[in-house]
Amino acid sequence: MADTEVKETRVQENKNTPAETKKGRKGGRIRPRNYDLGNGVYRFSRTRMFHKKAVYKFIDKKTPKTVKPKKPITIEKKISGDKNGEKRIVLLKKRRANYPTEDPVTVHHAKKCFRDHRRYLRPSLKPGTICILLAGIHKGKRVVFLKQLKSGLLLVTGPFLINACPLRRVSQNYVIATSTRINISGLKIPAHINDDYFKRKREKRAKKEEGDIFSKKKDEYKPNDQRKADQKVIDKFVIAAIKRNKEKKMLFTYLSAMFGLRSSQYPHRLKF
């Protein structure tokens, strides 16, 4: 008898509590699949959700645009009478009788594409300024700043004959501009040296085939003949500009030497 009474009380308690489903539904709410675990860390990553939502199925797919027939706004009505003009153009939908005294505030989103961003350049960076690279395979080398490209990146060169740094693009965030400057006012950089000039051509990955997946090795980058010819032309002008300087010997040793900090040296205390 005691067991049956306990079962009846449990059934009554279950009836009073809100129903919970396997999906996490509580009182009519559905818990999202990707929820915040805390401190901005989500259960699934962006890549995982990309596959879960099957976004790849809808990339590069365009639905045909359906042109809806436009509804007429006005209608022509005939008016009787000799001096009434015989017709009137009347609105099908009457205008509002009352209008608000203030216009609603429209929200302008500040999100812009990268190509629409405004490019800035630090005032210390001018053509001919010798800079110190802080990142990449050539970090620590001193290079000559030539110009700013359309993407906002800086075009720099070693020159290659002095410190083996070729024509490169670098962000101004990873550069220290020094007070030393070379006069390269007569340098004309070819028009084809732009952002597309530095983009590498990557081959599409082949489909899964039988055999060893590690058999194919990655191709090492090799500069083409056009790149070598452009490097020689620009280096020739820059080296000639250095030779015209009064302190040419110091400039050659300065560009060829690597930058580094000794003990008890701090970059915020140094004057470049």
Q: What is the CATH number of the domain that holds 175?
A: 2.30.30
Per-residue pLDDT, 6: 44
Tens of pLDDT, residues 138-159:
999 999 999 999 989 999 998 9
Count the neighbouring beta carbons within 10 Å of the beta carbon of residue 156. Answer: 24
Asked whether residue 193 is assigned to any structural domain, the reply reads: yes
Asked whether residue 160 is assigned to any structural domain, the reply reads: yes
CA 93 → CA 68, 90, 96, 103, 271, distances in Å? 19, 9, 9, 22, 73
Asked whether residue 117 is assigned to any structural domain, the reply reads: no
Tens of pLDDT, residues 155-188:
999 899 999 999 999 999 999 999 999 999 989 9
Per-residue pLDDT, 172: 92
All residue ranges of the chain with pLDDT < 50 are 1-2, 6-7, 9-11, 13-24
Per-residue pLDDT, 205: 66
Report how far residue 171's alpha carbon sits from residue 124's, in angstroms, rounded to the nearest whole number.
14
Asked whether residue 239 is assigned to any structural domain, the reply reads: yes
Asked whether residue 258 is assigned to any structural domain, the reply reads: yes
The DSSP code sequence of 131-186 is EEE-SSTTTT-EEEEEEE-TTSPEEEE--HHHHS--SEEE-GGGEEEEEEE---TT
For all residues of the chain together, what is the average pLDDT? 84
Put simply, whether the predicted model's pTM sits higher than 0.85 gets the answer: no
Instruction: Name the token pair of 193.
Output: 């040296």
Report how far residue 133's alpha carbon sits from residue 141's, in angstroms, rounded to the nearest whole number.
6
Domain that holds residue 248: 129-199+223-269
Asked whether residue 191 is assigned to any structural domain, the reply reads: yes
Asked whether residue 35 is assigned to any structural domain, the reply reads: no
Instruction: Name the token pair of 15.
Output: 């009836």
Do 129 and 121 meet the contact criterion of CB atoms below 8 Å apart? no
Nearest CA to 235 out of 177, 182, 197 is that of 182
Nearest CA to 115 out of 75, 151, 143 is that of 151
CA 39 → CA 36, 42, 43, 44, distances in Å? 8, 9, 12, 14
At residue 169's C-alpha, the angle toward residues 164 and 173, to 5°, is 110
- The total of structural domains in the chain comes to 1
The DSSP code sequence of 45-89 is -HHHHHHHTTGGGSTT--PPPP-PPPPPSEEEEE--STTS-SEEE
Asked whether residue 97 is assigned to any structural domain, the reply reads: no
* 3-state secondary structure at position 255: helix
Instruction: DSSP letter for 268, please.
Output: G
Q: How far is CA 266 from the centre of its chain?
A: 33
Do 214 and 138 meet the contact criterion of CB atoms below 8 Å apart? no
Nearest CA to 196 out of 139, 153, 156 is that of 153
